Amino acid sequence: MLTFISIIHIIACLLLIALVLLQDPKSSGAGAMFGGGGSNTVLGATGATTLLQKLTRGAAIVFGVCCLLLALLAKQNTGSVFDSSAAALPAVPAPAQTTAPAAPATSEPAKSAETTAPAPSEKK
């Protein structure tokens, strides 16, 4: 459903762009380039609305409805990308905690720096 609405949305967008560019501005524009002018009106040369204006209005309505539908469909699919990817990954067990090996017991007490270093000679 999302793909279908997206395709309709893109087609309506491109059609809307083309129709707006073909509209007759106050001076002649791209519409006159293809033979448009007073003869492209639905109700004659002095008709109220031209065919291009009606097509543009219809394309704009389709574009707006597609925007709303896509927004509503996107709202239903809320959630984090990480939530969906975390569910797909296999559970990894926590690493086993290892303790550092105990220092080997010695029979000699640890010597401090004062007992091993020679005493400085005092000069007076």
Q: Give the SS3 label for residue 37.
A: coil
Name the residue ranges covered by the structural domains of the chain. 1-29+52-79
Under DSSP, the state recorded for 1 is -
More confident call, 91 vs 58: 58
Cα–Cα distance between 122 and 116 in angstroms, integer? Answer: 18
pLDDT of res. 109: 60
* Cα(56)–Cα(44) distance, integer angstroms: 19
Q: What percent of the chain has pLDDT over 90?
A: 27
Compute the chain's Rg from CA coordinates: 41
Tokens of 38: 């007073």
pLDDT for 62-71, tens place per residue? Answer: 999 999 999 9
The three-point CA angle 23-24-28 to 5° equals 140
pLDDT, mean of residues 108-113 = 58
As given in the structure block, the two tokens for residue 68 are 């709303």
For residue 93, report the phi and psi dihedrals to the nearest 5 degrees: -70, 150
pTM: 0.48
